[in-house]
């Protein structure tokens, strides 16, 4: 059967070359690719297959939305790895498993990875709670580059997140402090994970300024009229508004605040506001701040952005989208290949990868902020194992994002002074 999902024209082209697996996971859909020039060399001792199996678990349909840019980035990275010789001459065979925004299908995808003797899950993006982590853990399969939205995804092995929305939201609070704004309000899409992100993490960023979140407002995922949301957030003289919202809700909030005459700062996640949304918003987006773990696609002189966009273009995507989740999936596949190519060919297995990930040290891959899987970020509470503390802060002018702080990544909880 053919997998049909909502995607942009560029992403549709990138995904069109994907060959479909005969087996699916439950009622979810899987697709697989292993393009490139690596050969099907005989498997070394202790390796299950002549190819190296990786799984990217991501919603491409269902209630949590569709994220085809994650699948496109993962496919592009696998193709690039294979073009460079694969892993010890063996091609990477990548399966994209659509979890349909369902905990049950998410677990089914994990069980398919176990049945396929996958080396790792790479760039997992769930959006919903579930039991899939324990399935991977029981099989000893690393969950590399997971986009952590739920507690089981941040509690040590098998999880190795290379970026995190939690770090981004810490940056929301810290940016409000650096802007000199002292009455902060926030809105979040009415999901438990979004509420947790806003209430627990913005406080870390606000702490250095002695600030607290003055008010927080849940917004139903289906809400399309944000005028009442804007009015409630602005009431009482709010001068910094943060949002943990969907890619649909974020532009609606910006436009509603603009129409209501709001003049303060607006801070959103860079992954929730696309380039097209900025174009559609026009002057309403001027001054908007975006925080995230990646440099924007407009930073065309950055070598990491250049590599990412070139690999996406080589996979047929002429309009690449850089989000934290997409860059995280892309970086995860490159990291796995780098570590396994550095290990003896006979040691290409999940146990070796798990060990090498924990000792991999500081990494800087593509447009993604640096991370260190050997060192957890200390300003998160104990039991929260996250390894990326830097973010990029951009401000929008005439529809274009300009990176602040000298064009560099900065510590989300300890930003320098903001000039200009």
pLDDT exceeds 90 at position 98: yes
- HSE at residue 173, side-chain half, CA atoms within 13 A, is 24
Q: Given this model, what pLDDT does residue 420 score?
A: 55
Nearest 5°: the CA angle 211, 214, 215 is 145
Cβ(311)–Cβ(133) under 8 Å? no
Report residue 215 CA to chain centroid gap.
27
CA distance 67 to 172: 23
pLDDT digits (tens, 9 = 90+) for 215-258: 999 999 889 999 999 999 999 999 999 999 988 999 999 999 99
The domain limits of the chain are 9-164+303-372, 167-292+389-411
**167-292+389-411 fold:** Rossmann fold (3.40.50)
DSSP-assigned beta bridge partners for residue 122: 144
Tokens of 142: 């690393």
Instruction: Tell me what percent of the residues of the chain surpass a pLDDT of 70.
Output: 88
Say which CATH topology domain 9-164+303-372 has.
Rossmann fold (3.40.50)
Interval 326-350 mean pLDDT: 97
The answer, yes or no, to whether residue 347 has pLDDT greater than 80, is yes
**Tens-digit pLDDT profile for residues 311-328:** 999 999 988 889 899 999
Q: Share the mean pLDDT of the chain.
A: 88
Cα–Cα distance, 238 to 217 (Å, whole number): 13
pLDDT tens digits for range 114-147? 999 999 999 998 877 778 999 999 999 999 999 8
Fold agreement between 9-164+303-372 and 167-292+389-411: yes
Pairing outcome for strands 289-292 and 240-244: unpaired
Query: Rounded mean pLDDT of 95-124?
Result: 95
């Amino acid at each position: 059967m053919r997998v049909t999902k909502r995607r942009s024209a560029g992403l549709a082209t990138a995904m069109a070359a994907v060959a479909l697996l005969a087996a699916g996971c439950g009622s979810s859909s899987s697709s697989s690719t292993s393009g490139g020039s690596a050969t099907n060399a005989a498997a070394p001792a202790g390796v299950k297959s002549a190819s190296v199996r990786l799984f990217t678990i991501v919603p491409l349909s269902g209630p949590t939305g569709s994220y085809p840019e994650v699948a496109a980035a993962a496919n592009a990275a696998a193709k690039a790895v294979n073009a460079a010789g694969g892993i010890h001459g063996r091609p990477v065979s990548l399966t994209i498993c659509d979890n349909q925004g369902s905990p049950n299908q998410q677990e089914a995808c994990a069980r398919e990875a176990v049945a396929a003797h996958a080396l790792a899950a790479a760039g997992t993006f769930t959006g919903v709670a579930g039991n899939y982590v324990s399935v991977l853990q029981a099989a000893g399969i690393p969950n590399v580059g997971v986009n952590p939205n739920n507690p089981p995804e941040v509690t040590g092995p098998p999880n190795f997140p290379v970026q995190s929305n939690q770090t981004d939201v810490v940056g929301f609070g810290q940016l409000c402090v650096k802007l000199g704004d002292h009455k902060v309000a926030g809105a979040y899409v009415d999901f438990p994970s979004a509420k947790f992100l806003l209430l627990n993490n913005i406080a870390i960023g606000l702490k250095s300024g002695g600030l607290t979140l003055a008010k927080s407002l849940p917004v139903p995922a289906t809400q399309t009229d944000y005028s009442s949301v804007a009015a409630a957030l602005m009431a009482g003289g709010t001068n910094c508004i943060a949002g943990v919202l969907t890619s649909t809700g974020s532009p609606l909030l910006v436009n509603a605040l603009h129409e209501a005459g709001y003049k303060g700062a607006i801070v959103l996640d860079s992954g929730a506001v696309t380039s097209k949304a900025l174009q559609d918003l026009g002057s309403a987006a001027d001054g908007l701040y975006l925080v995230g773990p990646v440099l924007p696609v407009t930073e065309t002189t950055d070598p990491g952005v250049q590599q990412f966009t070139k690999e996406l273009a080589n996979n047929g995507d002429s309009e690449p989208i850089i989000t934290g989740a997409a860059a995280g999936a892309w970086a995860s596949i490159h990291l796995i290949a780098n570590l396994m190519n550095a290990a003896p060919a006979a040691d290409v297995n999940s146990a070796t990868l798990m060990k090498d990930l924990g000792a991999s040290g500081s990494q800087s891959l593509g447009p993604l902020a640096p991370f260190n899987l050997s060192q957890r970020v200390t300003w998160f509470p104990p039991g929260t194992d996250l390894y990326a503390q830097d973010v990029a802060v951009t401000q929008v002018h005439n529809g274009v994002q300009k990176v602040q702080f000298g064009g560099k990544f900065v510590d989300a909880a300890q930003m320098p002074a903001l000039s200009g």
